[in-house]
Amino acid sequence: MTIAALLLAAIAATTLFTMLHPTALHGLGGLGSFAFLYSLQLLPATAGGSCLAIFAWRRGAILPASVFVLAAALSAVIALWPSFALWRRAEAYHVGLSLTSALIPRSNASSGPQVARSVVYGTASDGTRMRLDVWRTSAPGPGTHRPAIVRLHGGAWIRGARSGRSEWDRWLNRLGYDVFDVDYRLPPPVRWRSEVGDVKCALGWVATHARAYSVDPARISVMGYSAGANLAMLAAYSMGDARLPPSCVAPAVTVRSAINLYGPADLGLLYRSSGSRQSIDAALRQYIGGSPAEYAARYRALSPLSHIDRRTPPTITVLGESDRVIPTDQARVLDLALMRAGVAHRTYLLPAQDHSFDANWSGFGSQIARAEVKAFLVRYG
């Protein structure tokens, strides 16, 4: 019993430490990230530790009983602290939360390409046929033409596929939006202009085919998560910039609004300050070709922050305060730049939430994000 108690307490203490001091996402950092994601689901560990403490106490095993009490206390903090912090932040944001939904986890895992929904939106100069998935809404709209969202997957610019985190596609459909979930080409080779070029190609395709899909070409927004959020903002902010042309013949599209879920705005800053530098720096080198010291102009060109002016579309940013990949300074520099340019924007920081918090679709973090994105779209979508 003593060995079991010490092991349980060690696991709980390590998990809490990686939550309070977010280390890199790989290794032990993944333990803290999981605990943030499913904190309420760890309540049974508290109950289990308490039961073991009572059992040990009745057997006269004072030491293991005391250690089991410690383990139960630590697991209670792990389970309840994130929820209390999010509940208070939700009150500050005037967002209602559902405890019942949060107690039943619902995965928003990447489902991958939806072949039945897939269409080719362009052919790149290297012969690659580029595809997107069309998620049509069945919700009745106020008119004959519906708004649309071009959505981009994450994956650190080097992995991932269209229709990742597809609960967002279904949810946006229920709001009355057609969603065009886009694949873009990934390294190798270096893709520093190809990825955003592919996104602009997809935006042009959606605008060109707007009539066929009964989409309002003046109401096309962009949305992404992680690296996809960076590309969504970059495509919208740099539209018409000759340094970042579309990868196929495509018209320039005036993007209605941008939804940024934990995406970086300044890649040079990210290279220096990410809490997961080893993996992020390696990904950025694959994507861009090297470090900021080697390719400073490329890093500036690929940072949405560099393209902000008064024509930048309204933008909403949602980021976890404990994100161990994208630091909160990314949200702050973006917020300041948008404010100085006079661009309508909203920024929401979620306490006790890590990167990819929306992987738990029913969690408090996801609930807050959906409420704020919905309110933003009502006004700017």
Task: Supply the CATH number for residue 177's domain.
Answer: 3.40.50.1820
Separation between Cα atoms, residue 60 and residue 45, nearest integer Å: 22
Cα gap 325→369, rounded to integer Å: 18
Whether residue 45 sits in one domain with residue 140: no
| Residues 324 and 24: beta-carbon distance below 8 Å | yes
User: Do both 138 and 259 map to the same domain?
Assistant: yes
Q: Is residue 98 part of a domain?
A: no
Q: Is residue 342 part of a domain?
A: yes
Looking at the fold, whether 310 and 243 belong to one and the same domain comes out as: yes
Average confidence (pLDDT) per 10 residues, the chain, 381 residues: 88 92 83 94 86 83 88 93 97 97 90 91 92 92 86 97 96 97 97 97 98 96 98 98 95 97 98 93 97 98 98 98 96 98 98 97 98 98 92
Same domain? 218 vs 306: yes
Is residue 194 included in any domain, yes or no? yes
255 and 144 share a domain? yes
Token reading at 287: 């994507």
In a domain, 86, yes or no: yes
Of 39, 57, 92, the domain-final residue: 92
Question: Is residue 6 assigned to a domain?
Answer: yes
Query: Quick one: 225 and 339 in the same domain?
Result: yes
The pLDDT score that the predictor gives to residue 240 is 94
- 187 close to 158: Cβ distance less than 8 angstroms: yes
CA distance 286 to 194: 13
Helix%, strand%, coil% for the chain, nearest 5? 50, 15, 40
Same domain as 222, residue 330 = yes
- What's the pTM value of the predicted model, to 2 decimals? 0.94
Kindly state whether residues 16 and 136 are assigned to the same domain: no
Closest Cα to residue 257, out of 165, 379, 371, 349?
A: 379
Q: In this structure, are 174 and 75 located in the same domain?
A: no
In a domain, 83, yes or no: yes
- Residues 34, 67: one domain? yes
Which residues constitute the domain of residue 298? Answer: 115-380
Q: Provide the number of structural domains found in the chain.
A: 2
Residues near 133 by beta carbon (within 8 Å), at least 6 away in sequence? 113, 114, 117, 118, 162, 163, 169, 180, 181
Measured between alpha carbons, how far is residue 148 from residues 168, 200, 218, 233, 256 in Å?
13, 15, 9, 16, 10
Boundary of a domain, candidates 45, 60, 92: 92
Amino acid, single-letter form, for residue 165 = R
Residue 212 lies in a domain: yes
pLDDT given at position 197: 97
Q: Verify that 85 and 142 share a domain, yes or no.
A: no
- Residue 167 and residue 82 in one domain: no
Which residue is listed with tokens 């071009």? 150
Of 39, 59, 92, which marks where a domain is finished?
A: 92
Is the Cβ–Cβ distance between 357 and 346 less than 8 Å? no
pLDDT computed for residue 340 by the predictor: 98
- For residue 93, what pLDDT is reported? 97
- Quote the pLDDT of residue 60: 84
Report if residue 227 sits inside a domain. yes
For Cα atoms 336, 341, 344, give the angle at the middle one, nearest 5 degrees.
80
Residue pair 376/316 in contact by the 8 Å Cβ criterion: yes
